[in-house]
Structure 1
């Protein structure tokens, strides 16, 4: 061996930090060399110790890298060969030996052993050339990439030969099995750009061509290639006693959460054409065929050029790129404070390698479509091209390239220490001092770089490192400052395939649990797995919106549950562009949407199943007070004027009702309206819907079904229950009674299919019920309950006027008159309506025995208690609990029935159908004390405010133990309580007060009620 054969620098740039360890390894090597049986190699070993520069180089390596020391001791007889030729000659010999070894390998174990032996030797070779100053950064990364190409290509060829020998593939040439195989392996990232780092993993995309693959097996070509890919990963990254070859990552393929490990070229092209994201465009810049049929791979990438290099970028696309850039910028820190060398991540941290790479790639994505000279894969080449094209100054390019060279070299030294894929600086001063020695910085600082601190171990190195990090951060920051739109994104990065550690930390700090699951959900949105996100524009808008969206979700009481509901909402959304544009332009609506998802699961589920109601949120009056009856009638009339047929009538009515119910629910949630206003609004909405539907059903019945009209006949719709009293909630049914009349007992409708009057109105009423309840594409309108009609379920659907009056006067029970106190006509013939109102007033104002009426009321209450079961001691069962809403209603109805006859014509309006207004009028009439009246009205308001919230928030009963935190907070806000315990005590006290009034006015019951101080 001649001294000139190995052209290392003299003196060697690096020095040993741990001289004792270096000496120990050298001594062990010398002893191992002396024990070699081959006299030629033994002589070369002896000569090695006579070369001071070689010994200094080995000492610098072993004194800083335990890993390289172990490599040398595991392969003693090969060590002299590293110095017998130039590194390039050595590399070529090792790659030739690898190819031959794989050709000769009889089984996968032998092939894996050959791959690992070659990897260990190449790792030591590169370390010698790098630390010895023989190779520059480009040569080092090129050598590492060449070995990766050889390892991946050789393993693929070995596997293809095995598949050919088994009869799965009819390969054209078994000596070159990759050619014509239909299989392509793309090297991505640093491998694709020949920039692989020392302990890097390799990002691969494995593709196959359906038409070119010569598959002859019994399954499919895809099955065959998936098995091959699994074997390839095993060959490369499985850790055996011989080590590993390359950590392998296949997640850069299209939508890795859905797509198989090997993707057909056709499917991949369709994905990029329709769902490809800007970060995937950036990733494909560096793509290169590294194994398989290279010509087929090159043709595939050529077809992808229009996707990678978009010639025309709209505002949304540029905004999306800038949004990614802002995330990177905020992630690495936008402040002006200092950087701590210890623990700093030189890749992902402020001023790190990724900032340089993204600085180049961002400008490539924007300008490369129109300037082909920017379509380069290597980072430094791209920076020079950007300078040549006038995109950046020459000084900026020079400083970024210098920083890239330094940081990549430092990255290699970090990874050489223990063969770890790390870019994080040691957290101790001693560790930093070791790196300073390994980098050759134990002498004076570089010129023109002011040390940041007083002199100390490794201080010169610190100054150089901080200088480069600062310059990169400065230039990257200027590029960021040019991006439009301020944002407070925080450290949230979701593009790419890996979970970003700082993003996971930030999500946890924001209040999310299971940050990896949250990241996976958001990543799925970016992959366009939902219909609303399949357009490029929708995904680009989402990228811009995402930081504010996650912040709004994080501000809710249970961020995880809120995100899950928003995810379900997105999954049902037909299109996303309009919604995302609206939410971006109107942040208050974004906060509102998050509040719905966080505080009202039932309303959120309703929204997820009826995503078209989101359109209502775009209107200017959405957050205003719900419209009153007159405005609603005009609104419905305008809608139904557009109906082309009766099906349109059904759908348009349902759509409008859903939108308005959603608006009311949102305002209940935001506490902008109380239960009185929401009850009226829900009732006005139902009344309008019934009133709008009645003539349309009549038209369809008369003309469509050809039953014609009944001359002189009339019908009215009588609202009972919550609709009658205008105390509805979002889940209330419609309690209805249909009353009709006609002049002639023998009346028959005039039409092609005439019907007798009774049958006519019975069928017509059933058609109206069907119109209100039948499910259509827009869902149901309302549930209708007819049990309050004369004779209940056993009676006819519609009742003639005389029969209605006779029943109420002669057969109706007291509880039916109690229900009748809430009756209100909402649609139909005006003249008949007046007659029905008069009949109801006569019935309700007839004299009654107070004791008998009280006994009837108590019996009905006891019957309902028995039917309700044991739950009526639960203070949260606001309707049925003793002292609850039902008791308040019974008190009001009892007093109405008893005292109505005392005032002729009900001049004091104690027969008002609304409970609170009736109580107020009873108080003014002197039939109820002011104290009791105020107590009952206040209790009714509390109950109904809470019930209105519960009905929009949860399906079923409210359970404080399982209720969403957001809904609990809303309940506390409505009630003024500080916590649930205080609210429960208030409910118990209120219920005790109501029950005491019930017993005082109506009478006692056998059961016990709540024990607490009455109101």
Structure 2
């Protein structure tokens, strides 16, 4: 084929085109003959034997689009026997001048009509010249690209002229509106490389100089220019009765999901320097100024060269190249080379593989070899050959295959003016493409096509034969641009995600650098490397979508990502652990999101093997508090330490490395150390402000779950502050004296504030002091003698039950010992067992009546639940009237310890075993669910990972079996309760 600038279609060489069938060809001949008479077309169009007429009839039979264009606009054939390239060039110039009007301003509707009329003629004549073999495929792409560039340029000039007419701009030269306008309009992709498809969208990006002289103070260019671009899109792509010009896509601009249609040049350069992605480097190889201020466009591209073409070939550059390979085209994701239904652009052996073959090597060497910085694919192939990066055979074979495939691509699109790259599945439709391509049979066409595809596949495979692809066994994982890749969505489904479109959107957000953690090139590079395993791990967890969205919230708050992504790459177990947290424990996931540095603690080698004992935690607390002198800073440090250690205890629970009992002890030990540290700080502050009291001693008595070492995540702490001194009527020694009751009340108030007041680091613990003598009506701090007197003479049975869980927590050691002795004396009193049993049973009945369980999963309140077991244990303890000091010390005793120590004196062995087994199960479930959830547990709304963990620890196949197991335990515990503590006949009394 050769271009014939002065030739007409009558001069076409080679064999005549075969029509799709004789019937369609005859219909076309008849309609052309009728149009000769009706519309005054050239007379030879009525001659059925004329060679050009037969060619036109064959073309119309093969392309419904061309036939429909002729029917709607017969005048398209009025000059068909004249030099066609001159006509096309004239139409391109008509488009370029469409913004001009000697009689006044051109309206949007005027330029829309002019461009559409010119596009109709260009598309019609170019298609016929291409089908006739009068122009090569590269000429077809060049003509279409020239027309598109002219259309965009005319529209931009029109918009600038229009804005100037409204007083929003002041043009440097009204006869050349874009001159020194600072408007940078770049053609991207095939438009930039003058390789436009027949029915292609056009990709453009628009930048502007806000300081350009054309902008007035009246309108901010940051809002004005994007408004103009919205008009540009409408002018070019809105379908009217005259069709459309080009579908126009501006989504190749920086971060299109969150930026305006046009952005300032400086902002764009900053984006590419700091957040530009690998695929954007490849895209800018073909970028070309096509409209607006062309000088400014060239200057912009000059600034972009260091971003596109790296000067040195280092490890990071190689990783980027591999990343582009993985993102732009996942090689293993498109099946085998085929004909029927094959995608000649994206499929195996297709156009994209040739483009990527070229672009990869341009990016590798273009920084050092400017001669490789070619926009057109075939020019780059030749440059690579001349630079000896590839041999002549490779360059020739790929160039030949490229234009063959582009030719086929044009035919696919000429059929119905659709932007498709897929060959028909149907034999009859495939024959249409074959004959438009110059082949009489599908067999001949298929042979030529397969030869081209296999040539490309072979050359492409050699280039990347040693590279592992992101697709791997799973399939595509492509997250470039704004549109979803169908293969990637299918891969995400296979990995286990229910909403692949949402997941793809989230991952694109990461790759666009919209979070601080992914803004640097190195961070995105590391993220790309771990992406397959990360998605595989999330997909493998039930409800992986929810888990990944929690991970997204975590990333959104992360100040930097390189370290984390590197850690995940080098520590697969850490990746699995984070995925487990995100899938099973929303509460822990929120903590990670709020305190990203907490991930460092997850790298502790002892995390899963060492139980957080008092020595373990005390050593870490001492190190963490070292060097801190200011009281407020100490409180913040305590909050940070407690939050991190509670989190790490939760991690141990989620992974099953500690039991529920161990978690309760660890959380209580942590609280003990923290409350002690806070108390010492408060006493120091009091001494500084108010002095001391002679012989003063103070301690904290732990009650409730804090007292029994059974705290859960998020538990309140129940405490009583006790004190003693030489003279209860004395005054403190400081400059601001206080009497003894007010002094220790102030100590208590400050301690509560130190623990529960919110600071920038949150709250340590909510404090509950209602278990002190006389409850809320009693003094905030209680003298030990008054506490002993109240407990001996006035306390109710329920108060002694509560006291059975108490233990001195921290403070003055001698007062703690004295307090322990007082408690021993109270608990060691001889009691009426019948009255004790009735009081406890009545209390349980009132609770059951006034506060019934909300669901079978309310393990505390269900009949036979935790309260039943705790009451049984407390009955055993009080009924034995044995001081704790006589049987093992006055330290904290858990409910299970109490059952083990006192149960055998009161209960049958079998009943005791029932209660302890149920308590272990309830505790495991309660500790795990409280660690993982902010709200109460319900199977229907619980994360899937948590359900799996619960079933695993209870050795149940599913949640229904676990619910049945809980019901069985509860029934057995209630039977023991009623045997030991029979209810009165009327429970409601």
- Distance apart, 1:947 and its partner CA: 0.9
Q: 1:551 aligns with which of 536, 543, 546?
A: 536
What residue in structure 1 maps to residue 567 of structure 2? 582
C-alpha separation in 2, matches of 1:269 and 1:328? 22
Residues 864 and 2 of structure 1: CA distance in aligned 2, closer, same or farther (over 3 Å): closer
Range with bigger deviation, 892-901 or 611-620: 611-620
1:538 and 1:1006 map into 2 onto residues whose CA distance is: 70
Deviation at 1:640, TM superposition (A): 1.1
Q: Deviations over 1:528-574 (max 9, x none)?
A: 22222222222222222222222211112112211221111112222
Aligned to 1:899: 880
How many angstroms does 1:936 deviate by? 0.5
Distance change (3 Å), C-alpha of 1:3 and 1:587 = closer
Could you tell which deviates more after superposition, 139-148 or 787-796? Answer: 787-796
Asked if the contact 2:708–2:895 (Cα under 8 Å) also holds between the matched residues in 1, the reply is: yes
CA–CA separation in structure 2 for the residues paired with 1:310 and 1:1008? 82
Number of the residue aligned with 1:271: 271
Structure 2 equivalent of residue 531 of structure 1: 516
Match in the other structure for 1:593:
578
**Offset, 1:855:** 2.5
Please say which of residues 103-112 and 716-725 is displaced more in the overlay.
103-112
1:741-760 aligned within 5 A: 741-745=724-728, 749-760=732-743
The residue aligned with 1:461 is 445
Q: How does 1:126-165 map to 2 (within 5 A)?
A: 126-165=126-165
Distance 2:190 2:149 in 1: 12
Q: Which residue of 2 aligns with 1:856?
A: 839
User: What CA distance in whole angstroms lies between the structure 2 residues aligned with 1:528 and 1:642?
Assistant: 38
Residue 493 of structure 1: how far off its partner (Å): 0.6
Q: How far does the alpha carbon of each residue in 1:683-737 deviate from its partner, in whole angstroms, 9 at most, with x for none?
A: 12112222333334433443xx444454533222222211221112112111112
- What's the CA shift for 1:962? 2.4
C-alpha deviation, 1:413, in angstroms:
0.7
State the Cα distance separating 1:20 from its structure 2 match. 2.5
Distance 1:4 1:271, change over 3 A: closer
- Contact 2:185/2:206, CA 8 A, preserved across alignment: yes
Residue 773 of structure 2: aligned partner: 790
Assess if the C-alpha contact under 8 Å between 1:3 and 1:51 holds in 2: no
Match of 2:639 in 1: 654
**Which residue number corresponds to residue 225 of structure 1?**
225
The CA deviation at 1:51 is 4.8
Alignment partner for residue 603 of structure 1, among 569, 588, 593?
A: 588
Task: Give the counterpart of 2:437 among 436, 439, 443.
Answer: 439
TM-score, normalising length: structure 1: 0.92
Residues 201-350 of structure 1: matches in 2 within 5 Å? 201-212=201-212, 214-216=214-216, 218-312=218-312, 315-316=315-316, 318-328=318-328, 330-333=330-333, 338-350=336-348
Q: What's the offset of the Cα at 1:929?
A: 0.9
Contact 1:633 1:692 in 2 (8 A): no
Q: Deviations over 1:70-124 (max 9, x none)?
A: 2233333332524311x43222122233345553485333322221121111112
Show the counterpart of 1:1013.
none
| Residue 374 of structure 1: aligned partner | 372
**Mapped pair 1:22 → 2:31:** no
Instruction: Tell me the matched-pair count.
Output: 981
Secondary structure of the structure 2 residue equivalent to 1:103: coil
How far apart are residue 662 of structure 1 and its match? 1.3
Q: Within 2, Cα distance between the matches of 1:720 and 1:256?
A: 58
C-alpha distance in structure 1 between counterparts of 2:225 and 2:6, whole Å? 49
Structure 1 CA distance for aligned equivalents of residues 377 and 284 of structure 2: 14
Q: Distance in 2 between matches of 1:787 and 1:846?
A: 24
Shift of 1:427: 1.1
Structure 1: 5+ residue stretches without partners: 443-456, 1010-1015
2:458 matches 1:474: yes
* Whole-Å separation in 1 of the counterparts to 2:986 and 2:402: 83
Cα distance 1:908–1:645, how it changes in 2: closer, same or farther (>3 A)?
Answer: closer
Specify the SS of the correspondent of 1:35. Answer: helix
Q: Is the 8 A contact 1:719 1:825 kept in 2?
A: yes
Contact 2:88 2:121 survives alignment (8 Å): no
Q: Contact 1:102–1:114 (CA<8 Å) still a contact in 2?
A: no
For 1:789-938, list aligned pairs within 5 A. Answer: 789-868=772-851, 871-872=852-853, 874-901=855-882, 906-907=886-887, 913-923=893-903, 925-938=904-917
Q: In the alignment, what sits opposite 2:930?
A: 951
Residue matched to 1:33: 36
How far 1:307 moved relative to its partner? 2.4
Change (3 A) 1:188 1:802: same
TM-aligned CA distance change 1:707 to 1:481, over 3 Å: farther
Query: SS at 2:907's partner residue?
Result: coil
Q: Is the 8 A contact 1:144 1:196 kept in 2?
A: yes
Q: In 2 relative to 1, CA 61–440 (structure 1 residues): closer, same or farther, beyond 3 Å?
A: same
Q: 8 Å contact 2:192–2:375 — kept in the other structure?
A: yes
Give a deviation string over 1:887-916, Cα, whole Å, max 9, x none: 100111011111124x89643789972111
d(CA) in 1 for partners of 2:204, 2:478: 22
| In 2: Cα distance, 1:277 partner to 1:211 partner | 28
Q: Residues of 2 paired with 1:394 and 1:528: CA distance? A: 41
Q: What is the alpha-carbon distance in structure 1 between the residues aligned to residue 637 and residue 417 of structure 2?
A: 67
Give the RMSD, CA atoms, in angstroms. Answer: 2.7
Match of 1:983 in 2: 962
Q: What's the CA shift for 1:657?
A: 1.8
Structure 2 Cα separation of the partners of residues 1005 and 608 of structure 1: 52
The Cα of 1:476 is off from its aligned counterpart by 2.5
CA drift of 1:180 comes to 3.3
Structure 1 distance, partners of 2:302, 2:193, is 16
CA shift, 1:738, in A, is 1.9
**Number of the residue aligned with 1:451:** none
User: Is 1:97 paired with 2:80?
Assistant: no
Inter-partner Cα distance in structure 1 for 2:534 and 2:460: 26
The whole-number CA distance in structure 1 between the counterparts of 2:449 and 2:607 is 56
Tell me the TM-score normalised to structure 2 length.
0.94
2-structure distance, mates of 1:1005, 1:465 = 91
In 2, Cα distance between equivalents of 1:904 and 1:582: 50
Question: How far, CA to CA, are the matches of 1:124 and 1:692 in structure 2?
Answer: 85
Where does residue 1000 of structure 1 map in the other structure? Answer: 979
Equivalent of 2:920 in 923, 941, 944: 941
1:386-406 per-position Cα deviation (integer Å, ceiling 9, x unaligned): 333333333333222222111
For 1:772, the equivalent position in structure 2 comes to 755
Shift of 1:147: 0.6
CA–CA distance in 1 between the matches of 2:250 and 2:826?
A: 81
Structure-2 separation of matches of 1:313 and 1:648:
49
Q: Deviations over 1:921-962 (max 9, x none)?
A: 234x43211111111111111111111121122222222332
Is the counterpart of residue 364 in structure 1 residue 362 in structure 2? yes
Alpha carbons of structure 1 residues 366 and 771: separation in structure 2 relative to 1, 3 Å: farther
Q: 1:701 to 1:669 in 2, by over 3 A?
A: same
Whether the 8 Å CA contact 2:884–2:890 is kept in 1: the answer is no
**For 1:214-261, what per-residue CA distance to the aligned partner results, in whole angstroms no more than 9, with x for missing partners?**
234844333332332222111111111211110111111111111112
CA distance in 1, matches of 2:363, 2:13: 44
Residue 831 of structure 2 aligns to a residue in which SS? coil
Distance 1:612 1:223, change over 3 A: same
- Could you report, residue by residue, the CA deviation over 1:252-291 in whole angstroms, capped at 9, with x for unpaired residues? 1111111112222232222222222121222222221211
Deviation (angstroms), 1:61? 1.9
**Partner of 1:450 in structure 2?**
none
Match of 1:493 among 463, 466, 478: 478
What is the Cα deviation at residue 331 of structure 1?
4.9
Partner SS state of residue 906, structure 2: coil
Q: Using the alignment, how far apart are the partners of 2:137 and 2:867 within structure 1?
A: 82
